[in-house]
Amino acid sequence: MAERQWDVVVIGGGPAGYTAAIRAVQHGLRPLLVERAELGGTCLNRGCIPSKALIHCAKVWQQVRHAERFGVIVSGACKDWQGMRAWADRTVATLRRGLQTLLRHHGVTVWRGEAQPVSEHELRLTLPDGTVQTVTTHATIWATGSSPNMLPHHPDAPVFTEEQALFWDALPDRLVVIGGGASGVELAWLFNALGVRVTLLEMLPRLLPVMDAEIADALADALQRQGIVVRTSVKVERIDATNGRALVHCSDGTQLDADAVICAVGRKPNSEPLRPLGVTLNADGTVAVNAWQQTSAPTAFAVGDVVRGGGTAHGGMAEGERAAKAVAHWLHRRTLPPPPEPLVVPFCVYCEPQAVRMGLTEADARKGGYEVVISRFAWRACGAAVVTGETEGFVKIVADKKTERILGVHILGTDAANLNGEAGALVAHGQTVGRAVTLVRQHPSLSEGLGEALWALLGIPLHSAHRSERRRP
């Protein structure tokens, strides 16, 4: 007979959920992980991983097209969308098998099914064969994720979500992407790189409003130079169908004819399953939690997109770790651990050039009352960038002039996302400029760009003539 009593049941097998389950085992608990579809959630199966696999394919195609500048002559090369799709599918399958093995290794029991709360300590699980089992648990961690929003449109119009666009059988000729957040920008870049004529619409004054304004504006310029038509401060009023195509009506009176439209206009939390528990929901439907991910029901915790709406996988994983620790503490002592430090979560966009935000933007720092000092370092002065021919973009560091504490690191450039770890260490650990600059960085490497920006903050730039506004020590 299947086990019916568990220390904690985790509902949702995406990054936030499976992290919580693994950490629960490591805290000495017996977790059950329930997933209604495929392990890995949206990120692995329909989001982060397949999109980044396709973006990588597009980058390879771009490298082949421009290989002659490096003395490599490629004749007769052509792109194969189905082949790229196959690569993305293999990537997803490989990581999904790895996740299944990982969970077995850690001793996490996984059931496939739909979970519905009967009470705070009892769940009804509907399994794939239709049978229903009831399990009891001391606590639950809800990681039910989110679903993509969709704008109203004519039912015959070819309008797709950001997830559906990754699985097209063929590429369109003309494409309209609605939404200038990370998903919209990445998809616009992907399809433009593969030869699709792309128009990117954003209702706000700039793309990527959560990014530092300088980074966002520079990236918009880069996208336009690559051939993407970027239009901001434009709202979509309606989407009609015409001869199997879409006609997008914009607030400025223009109309856009397209073979396909992608709605990348945010996501809504899958919080409906928690309503029977009576937990407090925010106005946007996200679940209200405290710093330890605890809901208004003391033994119910929530992590990931169901809390943040359209959050990040890595942010959800960090929340999953916190929730597992909090559940273990709560079950053993009936209290939560001391308040944790706020999470500093990176925000990255995987187009070309890539963009990274870590910590406060310049505008946020000024609003926060800091006496702000900033510096920038252009990649064209970095040896590692020059040898690869990828010199577009810059590093920008925001610091507090009074304490020299690093408040934010912002990067635009090739492979910028892989610098998020160093940037995170500088910001999350409250590093000062003077201490951070003492780290010896490999030459040549992109990490040197952060060091150069730090030197500039001290007023003693090395490979740049630009200084910050603070005085030389």
Q: Which residues are catalytic?
A: 443
What are the φ/ψ torsions at residue 213 (nearest 5 degrees)? -60, -40
CA-CA-CA-CA torsion sign (68, 73, 76, 80): negative
Structure tokens at 230: 């970027």
The annotation places the binding site for FAD at 52, 144-146
What is the distance between the alpha carbons of residues 20 and 26, in angstroms, rounded to a whole number?
Answer: 10
What is the distance between the alpha carbons of residues 127 and 114, in angstroms, rounded to a whole number?
Answer: 7
What is the distance between the alpha carbons of residues 7 and 137, in angstroms, rounded to a whole number?
Answer: 5
CA-CA-CA-CA torsion sign (355, 348, 195, 446): positive
In terms of Cα–Cα distance, which of 205, 183, 210 is closest to 358? 210
Region for residue 227 given its phi and psi (left: phi exceeds 0; alpha: psi -120 to 50; beta: otherwise): left
Which residue's structure tokens are 């730090």? 454
The annotation places the binding site for NAD(+) at 179-186, 202, 266, 305
What is the distance between the alpha carbons of residues 351 and 221, in angstroms, rounded to a whole number?
Answer: 13
What is the distance between the alpha carbons of residues 141 and 170, in angstroms, rounded to a whole number?
Answer: 40
The annotation places the binding site at 52, 144-146, 179-186, 202, 266, 305
Q: Kindly tell me the burial class for residue 428, based on how many C-beta atoms sit within 10 Å of its own C-beta (0-12, 13-18, 19 or more).
A: middle
Measured between alpha carbons, how far is residue 231 from residues 179, 256, 400, 443 in Å? Answer: 10, 12, 35, 40
What is the distance between the alpha carbons of residues 251 and 219, in angstroms, rounded to a whole number?
Answer: 24
